[in-house]
Amino acid sequence: MTVRIRFLGAAGTVTGSKFLVEHEGHRVLVDCGLFQGYKQLRLRNRDPLPVEPNHIDAVILTHAHLDHSGYLPLLVNEGFKGKVWSTPATRDLAKIMLPDSGHIQEEDAAFANRHGFSKHKPALPLYTEEDALRSLRQFRTVPMGQAFEPVRGWQARFSGAGHILGAASLLLEVGGRRILFSGDLGRPNDLLMLPPEPPPAADVVVCESTYGDRDHPEEDILGELGPLLQRVAARGGTAVVPVFAVGRAQALLHAITELKAGGQLPRSLPVYLDSPMAIHSTELFSQHPGEHRLNAAQCRDMGHAATFTRTPDESKAIAQQHGPKVILSASGMATGGRVLHHLSRYLGDHRNMVVLTGYQAPGTRGASLAANAPTLRIHGQDVPVRAEVVQLSSASAHADAGQLLDWLRALPAAPRRVFVVHGDQEASDRLRYRIENELRWQALVPEHGSTWGI
């Protein structure tokens, strides 16, 4: 009987990763992510899956970012009762990120109902914090490199992907086929994370392509970030830095620590980490020392690089701090969370700066800022953008096109086919073209909802 893959997300777009592998009546869902960005993509989060959740035997997560894990509470709510397999660090991050996601959705729905700007009466969260906590009971962890059976007779194994704590590539062996899912691959020279491990042999590869149409510049994050923060501090402004709570927040904290220690930034420059999820994620680095480049002292220094604001009142009090300052706040694409309140406050002043630190999915507020939008819609209001907006080119946690090709070249033998996923259409198609022309392998970009036999 044929092994099939159904592409239920991250096909022709970056977010919503869901790959359903089917064989002899069994089904394993690799990743269980939320769609983010354009409204028509976000609306897919409320569409029923084309398979009943209680017909899925297991879920395997490559890592904890919400576009790979954030649909899980809804899947459980709708009847999924199987195990959720992940690395230990991914489970630890999911314990932070999934309840936080539910909490933010509840807060945003309540805010919309209070202020009447939602088209839905009432606005309802996709799921709640309690839903997320309930889904965590189904997690089972497996260390990198250790084989496990998500379904009897199916073999699976994680290998390090870099990117963030716990991030893995996944080799799934079923029905005589070896399917390799890249997950999100990190950069070989990342400031924090170890490089991705070389890939194992596979018949089929499902490869990400977030930066499949470009290469990262040579400049490092210290050389790029230092002058920006010097500039905004010199004019007495505030730098608002939307950060991904896992990965980029910690990279920025480490970079700021290094810049202050090297004299490029004054030690007195106030820095705030205004995201409970980012604070908790930062504390995890010392608990998983084998998965990143930092030693114990550097982990401690990172934990003292900023004032951690945990409560809403502490967050609001930041505005009382006059003079130059840096605010790191989630989310990284300004899709929700506390960063929206800081953007509302600081976008209108030309002395201030917004520093974008990673990929900005089309349709997000971050993408609008990157495109020099004159206004930004926040909480039903159009906020004028007068602050300087800059995008760090050196802070991405994703491998670029050349690095993706290098990872594929390291396969012991050519696969039968590469499915190019997790990218905008232009990025995915450009990587497909290079795979076909430089590696001479068969490659394609699957359509959303399509099914392929392998």
User: Sorting pLDDT into bands at 50, 70 and 90, what band is 433?
Assistant: very high
Q: Which amino acid is at 89?
A: A
**Under 8 Å between Cβ of 122 and 106:** no
Q: Of 99-113, 202-216, 240-254, which has the strongest mean pLDDT?
A: 202-216
| Statement to judge: residues 109 and 230 lie in one domain | no
| Statement to judge: residues 258 and 129 lie in one domain | no
Q: What is the DSSP letter of 33?
A: P
| Statement to judge: residues 254 and 385 lie in one domain | yes
| Statement to judge: residues 376 and 255 lie in one domain | yes
| Residue 325 parent element (H or E) | strand 325-329
User: What CATH number has the domain bearing residue 112?
Assistant: 3.60.15.10
pLDDT in tens, 276-307: 888 989 889 999 998 999 999 999 998 888 99
Residue 119: the pLDDT is: 65
Q: Which amino acid is at 163?
A: H
Does 121 score more than 90 pLDDT?
no
| Statement to judge: residues 209 and 236 lie in one domain | no
Q: How far is CA 278 from CA 69, 249, 265, 328, in A?
A: 17, 6, 23, 9
Indicate yes or no: pTM above 0.85: yes
End-to-end CA distance of the chain: 10
- Which of 370, 391, 412 delimits the end of a domain? 391
Q: Where are the beta strands (DSSP E) in 175-223?
A: 177-181, 204-208
| Statement to judge: residues 202 and 268 lie in one domain | no
Q: Of 275-279, 306-310, 427-431, which has the strongest mean pLDDT?
A: 427-431
User: What CATH number has the domain bearing residue 274?
Assistant: 3.40.50.10890
Measure the CA–CA gap between 139 and 146, rounded to whole angstroms.
16
Range of the domain at 74: 4-214+397-453
What is the mean pLDDT of the segment spanning 382-392? 95
State the chain's mean pLDDT as an integer: 93
| Statement to judge: residues 259 and 407 lie in one domain | no
- Which of 391, 414, 429 delimits the end of a domain? 391
What is the mean pLDDT of the segment spanning 344-372? 92
Specify the number of domains making up the chain: 2
Residue 118: the pLDDT is: 62
**Structure-token pair, residue 65:** 């970012």
| Statement to judge: residues 61 and 180 lie in one domain | yes
Q: Which residue in the block uniquely carries the two structure tokens 């999100």?
A: 184
Q: Where are the beta strands (DSSP E) in 125-244?
A: 139-141, 155-160, 168-174, 177-181, 204-208, 238-242
